[in-house]
């Protein structure tokens, strides 16, 4: 559960539940945290220090911000070089070593850096995100507190039909009356379900003193998946790179990709050398199978290769063509 002191308090305003994230008191607490400082001899990163506690908006009501971090590019180098032992006489530039580690998938040096994010996101995005199990997560508790009345409603350009070639993707954008009907349904369902949720709770201003409210842990099951939740998400740099390699990819779902894109920007401020190596060797790279490499060699030798004589199945050939031939 996110700290009830700073992020979990709820209050009633004009009959609507609201989170203190939007109050002057909350802003004052954040401003106070940013003005406090302590002397330290551990490495710090000025570019990331400047971002600490700032909430960068995502989607319509979401945000992501850095709460804390440990380590920097030099921590990766230090961890890698200690494994060589004292007897080594080989000296490499830090950037060259980091790029070598990334290129050859040496993971443990990157695990020496850690970062903690505070994220506000729709529940359906959180359920996709939580599949990345190599992190420590504390989510806002709807058993303890009352959920805010905030829902994700897509912008018109994000309303798309189901793709006919990708079961996990989107096709053509909906337009006109069809798009308007979808937006109406999303808003109407979210508003109606939240109204029923608040009624079942029977708490706050307007509550019926003669009626007992339903337990919060039960009432929450009526909320729609576009309701916003919050959590702290702490991970090391190696696992963050794995998250970003999947979620900052152009094929990732838009609603999680926008969070990953912002987190990538923060990562570039935090560990710029490692982030550049990640972009070159992971995010902007492709993986070829042994059969695909054999096909490339045959093509370079001047041999005409088709899907039928390539040794690749149809799906592999399509992926290969998209990566190499187009």
Contact 321, 313 (CB under 8 A): no
What is the Cα 75 distance to its own chain's centre? 24
Enter the tokens of residue 209.
């003193």
Cα 255 from Cα 262, distance rounded (Å): 12
H-state helical runs in 148-215: 176-201
| CA distances in angstroms from 153 to 62, 89, 246, 311, listed in the order given | 11, 59, 24, 46
Query: Is 247 noted as a catalytic residue in this protein?
Result: yes
Cα 284 from Cα 278, distance rounded (Å): 8
Cα 325 from Cα 171, distance rounded (Å): 24
Cα 117 from Cα 53, distance rounded (Å): 9
Catalytic residue among 247, 265, 279, 314: 247
Contact 102, 207 (CB under 8 A): no
The set of catalytic residues is 247
């Amino acid at each position: 559960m996110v700290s009830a002191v700073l992020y979990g308090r709820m209050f009633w305003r004009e009959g609507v539940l609201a989170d203190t994230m939007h109050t002057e008191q909350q802003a004052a607490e954040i401003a106070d945290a940013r003005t406090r400082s302590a002397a330290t001899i551990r490495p710090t990163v000025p570019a990331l220090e400047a971002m600490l506690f700032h909430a960068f908006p995502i989607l319509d009501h979401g945000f992501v911000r850095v709460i804390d971090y440990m380590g920097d590019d030099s921590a990766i180098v230090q961890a890698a070089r200690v494994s060589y032992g004292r007897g080594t006489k080989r000296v490499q530039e830090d950037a060259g070593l980091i790029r070598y580690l990334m290129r050859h998938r040496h993971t443990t040096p990157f695990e020496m850096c850690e970062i903690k994010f505070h994220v506000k996101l729709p529940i359906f995005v959180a359920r996709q995100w939580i599949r990345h199990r190599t992190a420590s997560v504390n989510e806002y508790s709807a058993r303890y507190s009352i959920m805010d009345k905030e829902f994700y409603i897509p912008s018109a350009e994000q309303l798309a039909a189901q793709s006919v070639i990708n079961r996990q993707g989107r096709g053509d954008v909906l337009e006109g009356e069809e798009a308007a009907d979808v937006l109406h349904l999303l808003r109407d369902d979210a508003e109606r379900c939240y109204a029923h949720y608040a009624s079942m709770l029977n708490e706050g201003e307007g509550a019926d003193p003669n009626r007992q409210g339903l337990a919060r842990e039960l009432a929450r099951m009526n909320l729609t998946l576009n309701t916003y939740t919050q959590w702290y998400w702490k991970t090391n740099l190696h696992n963050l790179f794995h998250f970003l390699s999947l979620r900052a990819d152009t094929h990732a779902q838009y609603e999680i990709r926008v969070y990953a894109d912002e987190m990538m920007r923060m990562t570039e401020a935090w560990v710029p050398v490692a982030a550049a190596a990640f972009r070159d060797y992971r995010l902007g790279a492709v993986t070829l199978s042994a059969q695909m490499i054999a096909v490339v060699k045959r093509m370079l030798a001047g041999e005409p290769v088709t899907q039928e004589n390539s040794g690749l199945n149809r799906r592999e050939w399509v992926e290969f063509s998209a990566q190499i031939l187009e």
